[in-house]
Amino acid sequence: MSKIALNSNASGTGVFTIASPNSDTDRTLTLPDKTGTVNVGEGIDDNATSTAITIDSSGDVSIGTSTAGVTGLSISSTKNLGWTQSSGESLANMFRQQSSGALVTGYGYQRSSTANGFASSYSSSLSRAAASFSDSIRFYVDTASTVAAGTDITPTERMRIDSSGNVGIGTTNPGSKLVVEAGDDDGIRIDSSDDTFTGRLSFGDVSDNYIGAIEYDHNVDAMWFYVNNAERMRITSDGFLLVGTTSTTVNTANFGTRIGGSNSSTLKSFRNVGGGTTCCAFGGSAGQVQVLGDGDLENTNNSYGSISDERVKSNIVDASSQIDDIMAVQVRSYTLNETGATHIGVVAQELEASGMSGLVKTNDEGMKSVKYSILYMKAIKALQEAVAKIEDLESRLSALETN
């Protein structure tokens, strides 16, 4: 038969006992004086010595220990704070990790007696997650798996914030404010919720929170680069790299540099400068070539050439006569419209009209140019022919004078 007993002693402390037919399940409640502590204990009889819950005179509650660690609610470091799912199982738990002492909040994890370990708290298939707090904050997430409750399990750390405030994703040792360590064909992606929006990665300082940026405009599929709060470079949807301009039209009136794209000019660069100023330069450790503002080409050693090795040539024969072509060339004096300067040379359309269209090239924009290097070789051949005729005439004249 169950019984209820209330006893007291000389110290003013009372013991309230609820006993069941099975004396092994008796529960005792020690009742103190007004300044004492209430202990809810578990024992065989009214002399129970194992304290389960303590409420002290300050109203602080301790579970699994008789000493409150902090004001409010204290739980033994060997216990879980869990939300029961079923008998012996729970989904959400808070616990102090063995050895490391880290505080862990887990979904599908509970305390393990293994040093720095985790144990499954739910036996069915579950995608588990946890966060631990110590000298760093660590985040764990795993795909669904079936692990019996109480069985040790090793979670996968996905992100960490260390004591310096550095954030690491995919790494446990971030050396900068944000480090992302990715595997093959993986990394960071910035998505836009609309095809007309712009995605942005910005850089700021104490004076300007938008001093630099990289933007992708989904409306025109172009990427922009900003430095010192101004656009300095752009990559267009058709592959042009633009520097110092936002237009793919680059010429003597539209300044900037354009690289790549589908046009015949792989590199076009124009500056708003005159003939005495270098627009661009190329070279190595032994010298350089410069393009000036008026289109003049200068180099360090005044030497220009092309590859002419026998190994790259075939069907080598003497060239046919060129003197008629050279005699048909109209050498002109003209004013260059862009600069107003006077030049001497030929006109591409006139060369075509004289039957030498092979010396004229037309680009994608319809502008014609002349292959002067071939024209020079034709002139050399014509000069050789003229010299041969002169020598022949001199020989004949000498023979006449001798006779």
Structural Rg of the chain based on CA atoms? 45
Tokens describing residue 177 = 């404010």
End-to-end distance of the chain based on CA atoms, in angstroms? 166
How many Å apart are CA 112 and CA 80, to the nearest integer? 10
Work out the average pLDDT over 3-22.
54
pLDDT of residue 184: 82
Report DSSP state, residue 156: P
pLDDT of residue 262: 64
pLDDT of residue 22: 58
In the chain, the percentage of residues whose pLDDT exceeds 70 is: 86
247 or 63, greater pLDDT: 247
Residue 244 burial (CB < 10 Å; 0-12/13-18/19+)?
Answer: middle
Q: Which helix (H) or strand (E) holds 41?
A: strand 38-42
Closest Cα partner for 298 from 312, 286, 283? 283
The DSSP annotation for 109-142 comes to EEE-SSTT-EEES--S-B--EEEEESSSEEEEE-
DSSP-derived pairing of the beta strands 256-259 and 241-243: antiparallel
Q: Which residues contact 54 (CB under 8 A, 6 or more apart)?
A: 37, 38, 39, 40, 61, 62, 65, 66, 67, 68
What CATH class does 319-403 carry? mainly alpha
**What is the overall mean pLDDT for the chain?**
85
How many Å apart are CA 138 and CA 160, to the nearest integer? 5
Closest Cα partner for 101 from 72, 135, 128, 68? 135
How many Å apart are CA 158 and CA 161, to the nearest integer? 11
Cβ atoms of 53 and 42 closer than 8 Å: no
Report pLDDT digits (tens) over 296-350: 888 888 787 888 899 999 999 999 999 999 999 999 999 988 778 898 999 999 9
**Domain regions of the chain by residue span:** 3-75, 80-180, 198-270, 277-307, 319-403
- Is residue 42 scored above 80 in pLDDT? no
The model's confidence at residue 154, banded by pLDDT at 50, 70 and 90, is very high
294 or 95, greater pLDDT: 95
- E-strand ranges in 308-385 read 332-335, 342-345, 360-362, 368-370
